[in-house]
Chain A
């Protein structure tokens, strides 16, 4: 009995000490963090702003300043610095357009910057990060609901990559994006061709299977559509387990599990 009493006493003491130990460990780790000056202040907005004020102006620093404001959700200042950076450093326009597209969902502004970037070298499909600017222009048109123009731009990007490197080197997301617009324009056969290319380049894509299911449904091939949606559901769960809970295959084409479940449910209702 005695050891149990001691154990209970020890447990209660350790429960009390737990918070203190946590503070102590946090202080010890802060002391280690402070052993040398750091180049950026990640958790100190005002200190970080002061640091940025002292930097010489260049494309990278100005863009970083804009991104900093985006993180802080100060959209007025973010827009000011995005525009300023684009005007001062035209070669940054592609990256600026991508920020308007991805972070601000401002398709008009994104297009303006992508067009300016593309115009720098009219005979060449300029690259933004790892994709041709045409691909991003396609996404912007897609966001505006102009799927015909989106397809034109996606095609320009895909064709340039196929011409240079071959279809197997095209990012499968480009094919999916074009397929999404084909589906929107009720052209499921073309969408299926693109989704076939996409699955050839990444055969475990839940996103490609989901849109394949949608295209097949437009063609009334409901049994195949059901298989595609089931595959989408399987790969979605597999990818979620492999990566993180919030994983998205494509930040520009978001897919959620209830979308797949709903598609499957609708098919069942249709088959009744």
Chain B
């Protein structure tokens, strides 16, 4: 913490560090410690932790989170439950306790500060923190909510949720016009009702989208608590229009099967595997060298093949021999893109799961070709 503050000071106020005397330093850190303790209250009082916590998301990176469809129940009698909000699995039960600055949940002993409270949010861990919100039971009639939500289009801010009568759903961004296809259902949790959107364009299975708890509903609007992309808030979704059977529930373009898609997690590297040999064979067969001095360096092509074999998100980046950005002759990049699109993207082995019992996965493929005067001399691993 101290080192971080010094770095921050040096970054934003160069030179300031040299003139701060030791007493002001002590005051500064006392103030920052107070602020930290106010923001992240230590769970010294186990009563603060008692209750039911609804999963919000797992923070995988500074700018990347994945919805968390689970709940944690920490009971006053030291019993503990970890379950799915939609009841799709039997909850795991165990015990929990607070020992000094540490918390034990089941058999996991958390180091001090690993279980922190931030207002009504519970954060577990610092590496890939799991964030939960305190649950308040809000009674709702699921049959009545279903009648009001189904076959209608709802909008809050830039987000439109289309809930079709056949259980299909689509999420649309009104600014980017991008639409993804999923499935929806309502789930009872206590006396509350949650809107669950999950799955992809092909199947109900797969990751969840953020789950929403119904607060109130009427014919024209529905209020729901959930993560709106920035914070936990109660959003009012206004009725946009009734949906007719002819309305499209399809994705607007290429959609990955994994709702929580990250290229790093799905990367299929050629390495020195047999796939590299296959790609070399394809190049020998299809690539017509464009002999031109200066067409040297690296061309990197990235694309994604989803679990059903559809490809998209193609991008091309060029680097010269000094690894600075470079635009290559279009005759070269077009050939390589066509090869990727028509030959490599349709090769099922790229998205085959190593575990034969598992479903096919999305595959993020990156190929980097080394060129010398328009001739391909190598493929990077």
Binding site for B on A (CB under 8 A): 16-17, 19-21, 23-24, 27-28, 30-38, 41, 43-47, 50, 53-54, 73, 75-76, 78-80, 102-106, 245-246, 248, 251, 254, 256-259
Contact = CB atoms under 8 A, between A and B. Distances in A.
Which of B68, B84, B377 gathers the greatest number of chain A CB atoms within 10 Å?
A: B84
Nearest to A76: B323
A30 B83 contact: no
B123 to A, nearest CB: 9
Interface string B340-381: 000000000000000000000000001010100000011011
Given A47-B62, A256-B274, A38 B127 contact: yes
Nearest to B381: A103
Nearest to A71: B264
B56 to A, nearest CB: 12
Contact of B70 (A23, A79, A251, A256): A23
A120 to B, nearest CB: 25
Contact of B89 (A24, A35, A102, A245): A24
A246 B126 CA distance: 35
Contacts of B234: none
Nearest to B271: A246
Contact of A256 (B84, B90, B125, B277): B277
A23 B69 contact: yes
Given A20-B89, A35-B110, A76 B127 contact: no
A31 B130 contact: yes
Contacts of B128: 30, 33-34, 43-44
B272 A248 contact: yes
Given A23-B70, A27-B130, A34-B129, A104 B380 contact: yes
B127 A20 contact: no
B205 A24 contact: no
Nearest to B94: A28
Given A34-B124, A35-B111, A37-B127, A73 B366 contact: yes
A263 B92 CA distance: 58
Given A27-B130, A54-B3, A35 B69 contact: no
Considering the complex of A and B, which 6 residue pairs feature the smallest CB-CB distances, nearest first? A34-B125, A20-B88, A20-B89, A79-B323, A44-B61, A246-B273
Contacts of B63: 46
Given A23-B69, A44-B128, A256-B277, A30 B58 contact: yes
A83 to B, nearest CB: 9
A50 to B, nearest CB: 7
20 contacts: A21-B89, A21-B90, A23-B84, A24-B70, A24-B91, A27-B68, A27-B82, A33-B127, A34-B110, A34-B127, A34-B129, A34-B130, A41-B127, A50-B62, A54-B4, A103-B380, A103-B381, A106-B370, A246-B273, A259-B277
Contact of B83 (A24, A41, A47): A24
Contacts of B205: 19
Interface in B212-263: 262
Contacts of B109: 35
Interface of B: 3-4, 7, 55, 58, 60-64, 68-70, 82-84, 86-92, 105-106, 108-111, 114, 124-130, 205-206, 208, 262, 264-265, 271-274, 276-277, 298, 300, 319, 321-325, 366, 368, 370, 377-378, 380-381
A44 B323 contact: no
Contacts of B298: 75
Contacts of B325: 76
A78 B277 contact: no
A256 B272 CA distance: 9
A258 B272 contact: no
Contacts of B3: 54
A17 B89 contact: yes
Given A23-B89, A44-B61, A248-B272, A28 B127 contact: no
B89 A79 contact: no
Contact of A20 (B84, B108, B126): B84
B7 A54 contact: yes
A27 B84 CA distance: 10
Nearest to B280: A256
B380 A31 contact: no
A73 B368 contact: yes
B116 to A, nearest CB: 11
Contacts of A41: 61, 127
Contact of A35 (B7, B91, B108, B273): B108
Given A23-B89, A256-B274, A34 B126 contact: yes
Given A24-B82, A31-B106, A46-B63, 4 more contacts: A17-B90, A19-B205, A34-B110, A41-B127
A104 to B, nearest CB: 7
A79 B322 contact: yes
B300 A75 contact: yes
B67 to A, nearest CB: 10
A105 B105 contact: no
A106 B377 CA distance: 10
Contacts of A104: 380
B82 A28 contact: yes
B265 A75 contact: no
B111 A37 contact: yes
